[in-house]
Structure 1
Amino acid sequence: MAEKEVKGYYMCVVCGYLYKPEKGDPGRNIPPGTPFEELPDTWCCPVCGTPKKRFKFVE
């Protein structure tokens, strides 16, 4: 199965952490391949704890 090509990432506006769908967030049981839009609303930045709604899309 071919993976979807990533055209950009979502960045935490507080600390600059980039959520990369191809890596997921193993520390929070988010498997690789999980699109940002499918993260639970309770997900937050693993570095600084900023809520998901404070991330912005960057290319």
Structure 2
Amino acid sequence: MDRYVCSVCGHVYDLEKGEPRQDLPPGMAFVALPDDWQCPICFAAKNEFVKE
């Protein structure tokens, strides 16, 4: 499964887990997140994440 890592703080967005801090369910693809989505830890923009 896809994982994306925040290049600012290292937070991992894992497709299998979703993002519980933001009520995003497991299976929510990273590309399906809104363009204005931000890291729940450091608030970095979506484009600051890199695919692992």
Q: TM-score higher than 0.5 here?
A: yes
Establish whether residue 53 from structure 1 lines up as the match of residue 51 from structure 2.
no
Whichever residue aligns with residue 42 of structure 1, its letter is: D
Structure 1: 4+ residue segments shifted above 6 A? none
What residue in structure 1 maps to residue 37 of structure 2?
43
What residue in structure 1 maps to residue 22 of structure 2?
28
Size of the aligned set, in residue pairs, is: 52
Q: TM-score, normalised by structure 1?
A: 0.78
Which sections of structure 2, spanning at least 5 residues, go unmatched?
Answer: none
Which sections of structure 1, spanning at least 5 residues, go unmatched?
Answer: 1-5
Bigger CA radius of gyration: 1
Give % identity.
44
